[in-house]
Structure 1
Amino acid sequence: MANTSPEIPHESAAASKALEMSFELSVVPVKDADRSKNFYQNLGWACDLDYKGANGYRVIQLTPAGSRSSIIVGSGLTDAAPGSARGMHLIVSDIVATRKDLLQRGVIIGEIFYDPTGIFHHADSSYLASGPNPERKSYASYASFQDPDGNVWMLQEITARLPPHTEADETHFTPQLMEEVHREFQRA
């Protein structure tokens, strides 16, 4: 049988221009769609869609305030176990105020922490320190909470976005993060 796949040009990654993509949606596995819908709406998220189909199929799209990305919860959507989602980050401009707001909404949320290495938080909590980053550097403070099924959300405080090219004396970010960004830029 002849190969009918389109021929892919052999360009280097640096030479080819990437097509624009946008992350828009993540399916969050839950057991009880209504309970999940109520939980996320209590966070202030908009319910964009609540579709009930045949045989228990259900699609509920929810969008955090100010976000371009959404989640979908429901039934018949995924074979992932309810509560198995990890590593989902909600970006906030003031982690202290956001944590306080979530507590007032009845959400059980962990204490704020940071990783002294300054790059990203370790999974092993022995590497973490209590409280927000002492200098409130962008990308450096976190707090986590779970939805009723145990899906884990991480708040991350970002007050300045990391541009593709930054100056070595940039002060919004941890020195460790800037060192790695510059090292990566020099490799490119």
Structure 2
Amino acid sequence: MDWKLEVVVVPVADVDRARLFYEEQAGFTVDHDTRLGDGVRVVQLTPPGSGCSIVVGTGVTEAPPGSVKGLQLVVADVQRAHGELVARGVEVSPVQHFEDGARVDGPGGEWNSFVFFNDPDGNGWAVQESPPR
């Protein structure tokens, strides 16, 4: 039996602001924006090419806004991803890698080149470059 992770809930304070950020700045596709009654709104967004989506909304989690850290996207070209995020107005770190447990500017070896950004609430994202397959 397959067990597939398909949705991760990301807690936010302002659903409209989060939707705008993820759609226009991060480049995610809006799958749906649904109101399920008083106080419940579910906005599902999917990164390009991903089998897993995120959900932001009201009435979907009790976690405080900005409390999710370590969300990770994987791309074939981290420099290109960095450029796309910058072009869309995302405040993103330079390309970095880990060396002796610390972040160091510049690309690293296989699976060790990243850029980092936060959404408007402070939820933390990493974008990691995968080696050619």
Q: Same fold (TM over 0.5)?
A: yes
Partner of 1:70: 53
Partner of 2:19: 37
Deviation at 1:23, TM superposition (A): 1.3
Deviation at 1:160, TM superposition (A): 4.0
Partner of 1:84: 67
Equivalent-residue separation in structure 2 for 1:152 and 1:104 (angstroms): 19
Partner of 2:89: 106
| Structure with larger Rg | 1
The structure where strand makes up a greater share of residues is 2
Among 132, 135, 144, the alignment partner of 2:107 is 132
Q: Where do 4+ consecutive residues of structure 1 move more than 2 Å? A: none
With normalisation by structure 1, the TM-score equals 0.67
Aligned letter for 1:150?
A: G
Percentage of matched positions with identical amino acids: 40
SS of alignment partner, residue 54 of structure 1: coil
Deviations 1:142-177 (A, max 9, x none): 11101011100001111246xxxxxxxxxxxxxxxx
Matched, 1:22 2:34: no
Conserved 8 A contact 1:138-1:160: no
With normalisation by structure 2, the TM-score equals 0.93
The structure where helix makes up a greater share of residues is 1
Deviations 1:107-156 (A, max 9, x none): 00012111135xxxx4xxxx2221111xxx33111111010111000011
Equivalent-residue separation in structure 2 for 1:107 and 1:84 (angstroms): 19
Equivalent-residue separation in structure 1 for 2:2 and 2:132 (angstroms): 22
Partner of 1:151: 123
Query: For structure 1, which runs of at least 5 residues remain unmatched after alignment?
Result: 1-18, 162-188
Greater RCO between the two (CA within 8 Å, min separation 6)?
2
Tell me the matched-pair count: 132
Aligned letter for 1:47?
A: V
Deviation at 1:53, TM superposition (A): 2.3
